[in-house]
């Protein structure tokens, strides 16, 4: 792989040269079934292949495995911007932000999330053509996107915000009115602002491929496309909160967390969820003594990077009527006491109780 430089490509105005270039690229390349493996296996496989100087193709149990360009670039440490691509979801290839230039390949930049790596392929990720293409993609994505970052709950951890700062032009040529989309109501947990939606379809693919509920889809065509439940109803999946994490913009945010804190105000604590039998790896975000939100952590063996809505939204029980010191019931009411008095009372109760009458419940 190579970064930088200018690739030799056919003239974009000559259809014959374009056709010959495409035929040359795919000549004598047999079509094989491609199997994309999970992240952990794929990263181990890619690292081993890169160490051996071979980053093209291999087989596992007789099944040929191919890497896409964006996956291969991850191995060698080259960052490629993306919106629709997610390693655990089906490839959509609809945002076109991950465009790269393939030397000797098609005469125009290709989507690296959908293009498999081929033997002898030379890939350029930062040529003037690629930079101009990415600027154009961002300009189109921002045509109807509201400039409301200061009041958007995704501000500070927004992929669109970060990628625009890194790859965008910094100016807009739009001289028309922006599109307005009615607010959707997906239930009590998910806040929507569909004016911000860039139609990456991550939420659609998650509910289809992972949750298996097929509750979201796209309706309309062109700039009139909307992500919707088709008929007005709530999202019923117990994994619905994960589409909040997947959304690369502020179109889907957490209702309970809305307008309570900014990400740079929060401290983080990595821990294990104790509210269900899965034992999911989670991250607790807090500000001072108050728990503000709970997010998933990566754990390939347990929960991958998903958590249930119960795990995600049950944190209100950690700050509402939360015990902050020992209490003892006196005259039928709980009264605060110090630790010495509380432990003394507990010791007396245990001492005066028969051993066969004592039971204990503990959680880890």
User: Buried b / exposed e across 131-142, counting CB within 10 Å, b at 16+?
Assistant: eebbeebbbebb
pTM of the shown model: 0.72
pLDDT at 36: 34
pLDDT of residue 276: 78
Q: What is the DSSP letter of 210?
A: I
Cβ(265)–Cβ(240) below 8 Å: no
Report the pLDDT value the prediction gives residue 64, as an integer from 0 to 100: 61
Structure tokens at 87: 């390693």
> Is residue 184 classed exposed, middle or buried when 0-12, 13-18 and 19+ CB atoms within 10 A define those classes?
buried
**Which token pair is 120?**
């002898």
The whole-number pLDDT of residue 261 equals: 93
Positions in the chain whose pLDDT score sits under 50? 1-13, 15, 18-19, 22-23, 25-61, 364
Pairing of strands 190-192, 122-124: unpaired
């Amino acid at each position: 792989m190579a970064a930088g430089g200018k690739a030799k490509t056919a003239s974009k105005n000559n259809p014959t040269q374009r056709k010959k270039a495409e035929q040359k690229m795919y000549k004598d390349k047999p079509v094989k079934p491609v199997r994309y493996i999970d992240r952990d296996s794929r990263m181990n496989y890619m690292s081993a292949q890169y160490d051996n100087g071979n980053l093209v193709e291999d087989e596992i149990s007789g099944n040929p495995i191919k890497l896409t360009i964006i996956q291969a670039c991850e191995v060698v440490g080259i960052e490629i911007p993306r919106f629709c691509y997610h390693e655990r979801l089906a490839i959509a290839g609809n945002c076109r932000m991950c465009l790269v230039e393939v030397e000797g390949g098609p005469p125009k930049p290709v989507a690296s999330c959908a293009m498999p790596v081929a033997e002898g392929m030379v890939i350029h990720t930062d040529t003037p053509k690629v930079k101009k293409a990415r600027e154009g993609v961002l300009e189109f994505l921002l045509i109807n996107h509201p400039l409301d970052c200061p009041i958007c709950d995704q501000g500070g951890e927004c992929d669109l915000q970060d990628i625009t700062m890194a790859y965008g032009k910094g100016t807009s040529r739009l001289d028309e009115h922006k599109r307005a989309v009615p607010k959707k109501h997906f239930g009590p947990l998910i806040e929507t602002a569909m004016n911000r939606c860039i139609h990456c379809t991550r939420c659609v693919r998650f509910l289809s491929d992972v949750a298996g509920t097929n509750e979201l889809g796209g309706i309309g065509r062109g700039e009139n496309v909307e992500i919707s439940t088709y008929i007005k109803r709530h999202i019923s999946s117990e994994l619905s909160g994960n589409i909040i994490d997947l959304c690369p913009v502020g179109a889907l945010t957490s209702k309970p967390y809305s307008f309570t804190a900014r990400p740079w105000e929060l401290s983080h604590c990595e821990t294990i969820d104790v509210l269900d039998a899965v034992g999911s790896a989670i991250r607790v975000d807090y500000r001072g003594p108050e728990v503000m939100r709970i997010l998933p952590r990566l754990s390939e063996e347990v929960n991958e990077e998903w958590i249930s809505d119960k795990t995600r939204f049950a944190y209100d029980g950690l700050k509402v009527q939360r015990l902050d010191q020992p209490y003892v019931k006196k005259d039928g009411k709980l009264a605060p006491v110090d630790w010495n008095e509380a432990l003394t009372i507990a010791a007396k109760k245990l001492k005066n109780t028969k051993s066969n009458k004592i039971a204990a419940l503990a959680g880890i």
